[in-house]
Amino acid sequence: MSARRFKQFAGALVLAVLLTGLSSGGPAAEKQEVDLIVLGSFVVTMDAEQPIIRNGAVVIDQGLIVAVDREDILRQQFVGREEIGGTGRVLLPGLINGHTHAAMTLFRGVADDLDLMTWLREYIFPLEAKFVDPDFVKVGMQLACWEMIQSGITTFVDMYFYPDVGAQVVLDCGLRAVIAAPLIDFPSPGFEGWQDSFAEGLEFVKRWTGKSERIMPALAPHAPYTVSPEHYLEVLAAANELNIPITTHISEDYAEVVDMQKRYGTTSVHHLDQLGLFDAPLIAAHMVWPEKSEIPILAAKKVGVIHNPVSNLKTGAGIAPVPEMLAAGVRIGLGTDGAASTNDLDLWKEMRIAALIHKGVNRNATVMPASTVLRLATLGGAEALGLEKEIGSITPGKKADLIQVDIDSPRLMPLYDIVSHLIYAVEASDVVTTIVSGHVLMRDGKVLTLNATEIKTAAARIASKIKAHIAKE
């Protein structure tokens, strides 16, 4: 019997068994009971096997994706203990925010319209020295997680002070995050300098290793102009020993290019590559100014680059050569950066701006098509984080990190191409469901795992102190 004939025969056999079961009232009992079934008028999987499924369903059990297919097919096999309807909704993988400083939500709008170095050195560093403590980080992180759950971000990479406090908030609210202990050569909140912050960073990593499948501890040396080569080498040795990723800012603005030339007579990319940083799992935020000859190095060394278009535009840092990096095979994800520079944690805005600016500066409307940009925010981000086997697409066996977007809106009618809508027309507020590891964090637009009233009150309390301080200046 040919393979095709066998398939037909097997199909007929299954049908016969099902029909027999129906007549005896049996098949319901034979269906596999699972934790959750989520439906969607469209399922955009980001999986090459079946990229878009009309009237689809995703079957979830024990935090993992068990199956994805048409709803009518999966209903024959599975029954969910819980179900989330999908009429007028598109179901897609949760978005991945590859670079942020989440607790900086409390500095949202505190200093705008300044170049990066002025903004950082004259405003942000002094404000951080005065206000950032565990309470600030707890409230700022809660505010950030609320905003991210609401807008469909399910995984983020965070680099901020008091990482234990931040990690605990993430653990409690159900999101997934790489939480990286920040390391810098000069005094920072809670630390006198490098030695004590590095020692505490290592302790943080050890405390959180293996604690939760949703929290991945990491180390975050700030940038090549604020961390010495010797200290980068210490981080590299520790990361290798502890088997954790490193995340750092690289080549963010042109002032850094000039500074690095003065300090070391080279570029940030060459400097860190020579130190061996690119031989470790590295998540590199920004990468606005790599030289042409450096792009193949980033690809070959599998550096995960995080593109933060809105932050880079707002601080006047420039526009990263993303189409060139993608063409060379660099792993690229998208990030919001902190809300102090970007003013929100909205990856939909990042996607739309990414799709638009590269067309503009290249004077070529065919670069960065919608499908490419959507990939940056999902599977591309997962690759940049080294997590592509676990998240980034709706694929059986991966973690059940999913979102639903409501497309039943006049603003989204008519609908010819769902991927076009996701990039050029959908807003963050259209997200109605957020699920991480099979747990529902937001249902019908209501965040279930954080207390909005408490967060608003606490944020207003801290902001009033910051306002009073600014008024005195």
Q: Which CB atom, from 93 or from 338, has the smaller least distance to Zn ion? A: 338
Instruction: Give the angle 339-195-223 at the CA atoms, nearest 5°.
Output: 40
Interface segment toward Zn ion; rule CB under 5 A; list 73-81, 200-208, 313-321, 334-342? 334-342
Interface segment toward Zn ion; rule CB under 5 A; list 63-71, 333-341, 409-417, 421-429? 333-341
Interface segment toward Zn ion; rule CB under 5 A; list 32-40, 219-227, 265-273, 337-345? 337-345
Q: Which CB atom, from 128 or from 337, has the smaller least distance to Zn ion? A: 337
Q: Which CB atom, from 116 or from 205, has the smaller least distance to Zn ion? A: 116
How many residues contact Zn ion, by CB under 5 A? 1
- Minimum distance, C-beta of residue 260 to Zn ion, in the bound complex (Å): 17
- Minimum distance, C-beta of residue 332 to Zn ion, in the bound complex (Å): 16
Asked if the peptide bond before residue 51 counts as cis, ω within 30 degrees of 0, the response is: no
Nearest to 268 by CA among 296, 283, 288, 246: 288
The structure tokens 């170095």 sit at 117
**Binding to Zn ion in span 274-303, by CB under 5 A:** none
Q: Which CB atom, from 342 or from 437, has the smaller least distance to Zn ion? A: 342
Interface segment toward Zn ion; rule CB under 5 A; list 137-145, 230-238, 331-339, 406-414? 331-339
Q: Which CB atom, from 47 or from 337, has the smaller least distance to Zn ion? A: 337
Q: Which CB atom, from 268 or from 393, has the smaller least distance to Zn ion? A: 268
Q: Which CB atom, from 58 or from 250, has the smaller least distance to Zn ion? A: 250
Nearest to 252 by CA among 341, 132, 183: 341
Q: Which CB atom, from 252 or from 430, has the smaller least distance to Zn ion? A: 252
CA 373 remoteness from chain centre: 14
Task: Give the contact letters, 414-453, x = binds to Zn ion (CB under 5 A), - = no.
Answer: ----------------------------------------
- Minimum distance, C-beta of residue 223 to Zn ion, in the bound complex (Å): 9
- Minimum distance, C-beta of residue 49 to Zn ion, in the bound complex (Å): 35
Residues in the chain: 473
The residue whose Cβ lies closest to Zn ion is 337
| Cα four-point dihedral sign 414, 417, 420, 422 | positive
Interface segment toward Zn ion; rule CB under 5 A; list 146-154, 171-179, 323-331, 335-343? 335-343
- Minimum distance, C-beta of residue 100 to Zn ion, in the bound complex (Å): 7
- Minimum distance, C-beta of residue 393 to Zn ion, in the bound complex (Å): 26
- Whether 322 and 354 have beta carbons less than 8 Å apart is answered as yes
- Whether 56 and 43 have beta carbons less than 8 Å apart is answered as yes
- Minimum distance, C-beta of residue 159 to Zn ion, in the bound complex (Å): 6
Q: Which CB atom, from 100 or from 433, has the smaller least distance to Zn ion? A: 100
- Minimum distance, C-beta of residue 164 to Zn ion, in the bound complex (Å): 20
- Minimum distance, C-beta of residue 335 to Zn ion, in the bound complex (Å): 8
Which residues are 406's β-sheet partners?
89
Q: Tokens in use for 130?
A: 């005065």
Contact residues toward Zn ion (CB under 5 A) are 337
